[in-house]
Amino acid sequence: MEHRYLGNSGLKISEITYGNWLTHGSQVENDIATKCVHAALDAGISTFDTADVYANTVAEQVLGDALKGRRRESLEIFTKVYFPTGPKGHNDTGLSRKHIMESINGSLRRLGTDYVDLYQAHRYDYETPLEETMQAFADVVRAGKALYIGVSEWRAEEIRAAHGLAQELGIQLISNQPQYNLLWRVIDAEVIPTCEELGLSQIVWSPLAQGVLTGKYKPGHPLPEGSRATDDKGGADMIAHYLDDETLTAVAELEPIASDLGLTMAQLAIAWVLANGNVAAALVGASRPEQVESNVAASGVKLDAEVLARIDEALGDLPVKDPAETKSPETRIV
């Protein structure tokens, strides 16, 4: 497992980071989730990403239990705040000082740790002054409850404004967590150049496009039983827009490219996002321990310019690149 610096900080994280978004506390049983976390540790993954909203706080609890007894100093634990949790009351969402302060305490309790390495704003809150949000984050850092601050799915101008306030407050805003994969490249035009300038890295989610880039979904074929596309707990909704014949036919063109390199299609997709110098880590989840072991093999894989060109030719105009697709909810969701 290779490690990369996160932004301009001195923090190193594993370039394959384990995320428990659509699995822990939701799609897989807790004992299997624990086996997946242990498989990640055995494979050299040291960085684990979650959020309070995942499975309405249960995912944090599952991750905390799975990491119990491990040396805390050898781990990097990330979580997030924004979306509604608990009974979803009128203050149980957003980036107000009240919600941030209450949420960090709940996250630490569920994770079984005194601090998180990275505390992330899960979306931008248009109903709370940014100054209030950043002051709250600064106080969380000064209280020793988080070491660094990050954001997720923020636009370039929002990242720039937050970075300026972070500098004034004396805290480190070091990362953005966007969706990024071969089919979804909306951060390329504006977010990545801004982050390169300001010293932030990307921790990208959905590098496998919800599993579409693994090649398991074939055009004209029934959906595989037990796959995310057949999951009625949220997985099917997230993947549906990728399952048209045009997309699946183009994705199938990646198979010979991966084969020529001795890679699986999943490993090729992960290696592709890691080929971007502004990407510090690719977030991968798992519903089985063997998936972790396979995905980790993408660490250290280098793709040359010829391979990257072949990939672009295979996908043509299919990838979404409009920076306007980076967006947060206009109003808080309760």
Please classify residue 304 by burial: count the beta carbons closer than 10 Å to its beta carbon, then call 0-12 exposed, 13-18 middle and 19+ buried.
exposed
Give the count of beta carbons closer than 10 Å to the beta carbon of residue 127.
12
296 and 44 Cβ atoms separated by less than 8 Å = yes
54 included as an active-site residue: yes
Q: Which two tokens stand for residue 88?
A: 């979803």
* Chain Cα centroid distance, residue 227: 20
How far CA 220 is from CA of 217, 226, 246, in Å, comes to 9, 18, 11
Question: In a 3-state reduction of DSSP, which class is residue 325?
Answer: helix
Distance CA 289, CA 174 (A): 30
Please identify which of the residues 18, 54, 119, 180 carries the catalytic annotation. Answer: 54
Please classify residue 137 by burial: count the beta carbons closer than 10 Å to its beta carbon, then call 0-12 exposed, 13-18 middle and 19+ buried.
buried
Please classify residue 322 by burial: count the beta carbons closer than 10 Å to its beta carbon, then call 0-12 exposed, 13-18 middle and 19+ buried.
exposed
Count each helix (H run) and each strand (E run) in the chain, helices first: 12, 10
Q: Which two tokens stand for residue 80?
A: 């997030």
* DSSP H or E run through 151: strand 146-151
Residues sharing a CB contact under 8 Å with residue 266, sequence separation 6 or more, in sequence order = 208, 213, 214, 215, 294, 295, 298
176 and 200 Cβ atoms separated by less than 8 Å = yes
DSSP-assigned beta bridge partners for residue 246: none
Please classify residue 54 by burial: count the beta carbons closer than 10 Å to its beta carbon, then call 0-12 exposed, 13-18 middle and 19+ buried.
buried
Active site residues: 54
